[in-house]
Amino acid sequence: MSTPATKVLRVALRGDAILTHPRFNKGTAFPVRERKAFGLTSRLPYRVNTLEEQCRRAYDQLTTRDSAIRKNTFLQSLKDQNWTLYYGLISRHLKELIPIIYTPTQADAIANYSHLFRRSEGMYLTFPHQESMEEDFLEQTRGRDIQLFVCSDAEAILGIGDQGVGGIGISAAKSAIYTLLGGIDPSKAISVTLDLGTDNQQLLKDDLYVGWPSPRVRGKPYDRFIDKFVQLVRKYHPHSLLHFEDFGVQNAKRLLDFYRDKHAVFNDDVQGTGAVSLAALMSAVGVTKSRLSDQRIVIYGAGTAGLGITKQLRDGMLDIDGLSQSEANKRFFLLDRYGLVKQSLGPTKIREALQEFVRPDAEWEGVPTNENGEIGLYDVMKRIKPTVLVGCSTQGGAFTEKVIREMAQGVERPIIFPLSNPSRLAEVDPKDANEWTDGKALMASGSPFPPCKNPRGGKDYIVAECNNALIYPGLGYGAMITRARSLSDSMIIAGARRLASLSPALADPDSPLLPNFSDARYINTEIAVAVAQQALDEDLAEVPWSKEEVRDQIIAGQWQPVYADFIYDKDGLR
């Protein structure tokens, strides 16, 4: 990380007000001059610490917490006190602490949100208060330069489903990742929960639940509420990025498609998961010396993430290999709760969004079915002999030994991506897939797993973590920094191609398919450059830059966790 020039801020807060403001609080790092100017001399102990010393102290405190959820709670408390220290600490221990503040630990924090609640952490827009939504929105945004809104209705959180108002936890975690890995100034980002009720009966029966205790709103009232929020974002912050997160399968893609031509919007479950999977697959086909369009791809789990991955891989075939959409669609075999998505399932079992990937029944004559006429995973594998198997079903262990060994018989280097998280929901443990393929599998997983022993000897195989955080902060930052009118498919593919180009496997086929997460800040900077340059190429950017200026502009604009110098000014920042 480069050392930025020290910023100078004029701040109006004094005394306890500045010590309790996480944006401006420096704790024991306030220098003597600022302690006098801001009335802090008697409020702080004598010794002035550096940020490095504070990070060492905070890390020592963190390591005394004996569980991931207690560490998550400690870091949340630290964030509530001092943004610079929070981001400074995590940036120094990135690979260790991202799983604590993000997946998988954040899922536990969200599930227990009402019982862990101490302090609000974003914007809560609630259905019964929709008449005052604009007033409530402006209370937090008036006069601020907001570049990023991360919002969730919390219907489909991190593999744990409907979590009601606890969705603020995923919005806040995603926003923090944008800052850590993309360089978004945290004062220019807002985390939003859209509280439209919950169908989670445990929450509805919990007298400590802090959200609106009502069944979920559906249909036109739901759409009107969402649209009211989106129009406020468009009206007051037309150049911001609107990030949709963890919406239900009936709404995620539908809302993305409806708004993507009206504003710069992004859905990480649909586009981010697809983009990082595309990068991993491009790396894998580089190892196998083949092309995307040569693959036969089974997608196990055709929900929001599965369909998003399918369409992103399909669009990669169009953009990179020049296939037509209809030809690319034929490379995919999707399975959902009714088994293979095929013609005879009929309209009641096939969502509209899946129609273009429906397989004709004629392909499956003689293939065994169950009593409902449905074809399961093993029989699909046996018939088509896929080169790629992607899991996004949240069905832990679904890729059995029988399934994996069948795949390994038909391809020299099977490409296997068990992407469901947390790790207990992964379709296969990579060490098992490694054993069942005699160490030949090329793998990426949705959660971190330890290296796999090579059954043929040699070095251990490091399983790439197909973590959206390797790409979405860069995608978003590239759009924001250029004030792009939309985040186009081509911009996303440009980011995925840049990520794939950084793959260690391209130099050594037994190395991981994606770069080490410890380098995620650098990686996302590279992705942001590619995205911004593509935005300029497509004439979507509203900045007067040449492509040659992009890198310098991005690096100069990135926020870094260092303390600014403060000057007291009663008319300054609050």
Annotated binding site for (S)-malate: 421, 467
The residues near 109 (Cβ < 8 Å, ≥ 6 apart) are 69, 72, 73, 76, 116, 169
Catalytic-role residue among 86, 87, 102, 563: 102
CA angle at 173 for the pair 165 and 481, rounded to the nearest 5°: 120
Q: How far apart are CA 364 and CA 379, in angstroms?
A: 10
Q: Determine whether 174 is an active site residue.
A: yes
Distances (CA, A) of 334 to 62, 186, 257: 44, 39, 21
If residue 113 lies in a helix (H) or strand (E), which one and from where to where? Answer: helix 113-116
Binding residues for a divalent metal cation: 245-246, 269
Alpha helices of 239-376 — where are they, by DSSP H?
252-259, 273-287, 304-316, 325-329
Helix then strand count (H, E) for the chain reads 23, 14
The DSSP 8-state label assigned to residue 41 in this structure reads G
Q: Which one is catalytic: 26, 71, 79, 174? A: 174
Cβ contacts of 475 within 8 Å, gap of 6 or more: 266, 271, 272, 275, 487, 491, 492, 495, 527, 528, 531
In three-state secondary structure terms, 51 is: helix
41 touches 35 (CB < 8 A): yes
Active site residue 262: no
Tally of CB atoms within 10 A around 370? 11
* Annotation: binding site: 245-246, 269, 421, 467
Q: Which residue, among 263, 261, 210, has the nearest Cα to 236 in the 3D structure?
A: 263
Indicate the length of the chain as a whole number. Answer: 574
C-alpha 69, offset from chain centre: 20
Question: What positions carry a catalytic annotation?
Answer: 102, 174
